[in-house]
Structures are given as structure tokens and as C-alpha cells.
Amino acid sequence: MDRRGQLCVGIDPHPALLAQWGLNDDAAGLERFSLTVLEAAGEQAAALKPQVALYERHGSAGMAVLERLLAACAEAGVLSIADAKRGDIGSTMAAYADAWLRNGSPLAADAVTLSPYLGFESLRPALDLARDTGRGVFVLALTSNPEGASVQHAGGPAGRSVAARIVDAAAAENAGAGDRLGSVGLVVGATVGTALTDLEIGLAASRAPLLAPGLGAQGATAADLRKTFAAAYPQVLATSSRGILRAGPDPRSLREAAARASGELAAER
């Protein structure tokens, strides 16, 4: 983020986008789409975030494409975030951690998204392995989908919301990070509006990188992000997917769209 700015480009090969690009909805189309985004936008972004479900829908052939994309990102020096939203307990959580965070795994990414709703401590295998391998995790904390509020806004001990307690737990994990961001990030939607203030959540002290989906096609602007995240804005890694991907398949157009988004984010610092 210091070197490349605060933009994360989501790689979301939806069937409609593949069709718009003139590609077949198959593994070959998936690979062409993915590698084109890497080539065009990789140097404009701090990270690329492939949506794992859109590779899984193609079965083993789709997951093989994802493996090649993650390897290509590593070779190009582009950080990758596997948007897998994994979450379980015990040996199953350890297996998820092994798949996405172990050195030498064919699916190894620089970070993976996790769901904490079996209890934050259930994520321990991934938290520890990420720290040991120099990788990171992004834990779902406050999402902007309407259904999320029924769980994330719910109160608990001392009236603290579930979302606030997830932020607290991430802050505890990052306590040794000093002036740098820690390895435990948080997913906070770009379009959560006043929820952070309403729930009395302070993100700046968490030392967490903040993955913020919703820039562009979902309606959030860089100015909205600055207002929503306030003092924590420098920690924000803002994700734009369709807002940039719709500029394809021309690599130059994709590169220009990513550069515009990155410039708008930088102007708000």
C-alpha cells in the first residue's frame, strides 16, 4: 500500500462478465480473463483478490486456473488475497489454513478471507500459520449486505456488538505490530454508512489492514470511504471489481480504469 496505493482489484469472473469480454464460460475463458486482469492491473494495485467461488463453479479445472493465477501473481510480485471466506473448527480449520497459507501449497495466497462466526478463536490455526509464514488474513467484521446486521450488530457482554468484539480480537492479535499494520486484517464494507459510529467501533487502534469491498459498481466513492473510515482511512485497502473489470477486455482500458480508481483514493489521503 505504501508503494502502490490503496486499491485492491477484485478478479470476479462472473458469467456475464466473461460474455461481455467475448469469452466462453469455461476454464479457458476463466484463465484468459484472470491473467489479463493480472497483466493489466497488477502494477496499478496493492493487491488482486480472486473470488474463489467463481473458480470453484468450474470444478477441478477452475481450481487449477486459480492455482496458476496465484502462482503468476507471486512470480510477478503482486500480492494476492484469496476471497474464500473459510471458517470452521479444529482439524478442519487447520486444513483450510494449510491449503491457503502454507508455504508450498498450490493454493498459497498472500492472504485469505475468513469467517469468524464459529467464534474468533476457532480461526487460531489460520492466525498462527499466517504469522509464521509472513502471510495475512482478513476476518469478516462488518459487511454491508442487509442480512449481516442481524448478526454483526447484535449485542453481547457489556452491550458490545459482535462486530466490535471481532475488531477487539483482531486488535489483540496485532498488538505487537508497533507502528506497522498487523497480519490480522478486517473486512469492513465500503458502504456500511454510519454503522462504525453507531456501534462505537474505532478501527484506527486495531492496527488492522481494512479490506473494504464496494468501491465503484456498488456505489461507494473514495470520498465516501474517507468519510466512513475517518482516522482509519490510511489502513483501507479499497476493493473495486466490476467498476474496473467492465473496462475489459482491452488491457489498456483496464489499466486506465485501475489507475483512475487508485488516483481517486490517493487524493483523499
Give all domains of the chain, ordered by start, each with its CATH number: 7-267 (3.20.20.70)
Q: What is the pLDDT of residue 218?
A: 81
Q: Which ranges constitute the DSSP H helices of 140-193?
A: 149-152, 162-173
Which listed residue (85, 131, 226, 246) is catalytic? Answer: 85
Place of cell 462488518: 142
| Chain length of the chain | 269
Looking at the chain, the number of H-run helices and the number of E-run strands are 12, 8
Encode pLDDT of 78-135 as tens digits. 999 999 999 999 999 999 999 999 999 999 999 999 999 999 999 999 999 999 999 9
**Phi and psi angles of residue 138, each rounded to the nearest 5 degrees, phi first:** -125, 115
Q: Say what the pLDDT of residue 222 is.
A: 96
How many other CB atoms are found less than 10 A from the CB of residue 60? 9
Give pairs for 88-92: CB < 8 Å, separation 24+.
88/118, 88/122, 89/118, 89/119, 89/122
Measured in Å, how far apart are the chain's first and last C-alpha atoms? 12
pLDDT at 57: 98
Whether 189 and 203 have beta carbons less than 8 Å apart is answered as no
Check: CB of residue 100 under 8 Å from CB of residue 127: no
The verdict on whether 85 is a catalytic residue reads yes
State which residues of the chain have pLDDT below 70. Answer: none
Pick from 157, 164, 160: nearest CA to 141: 164
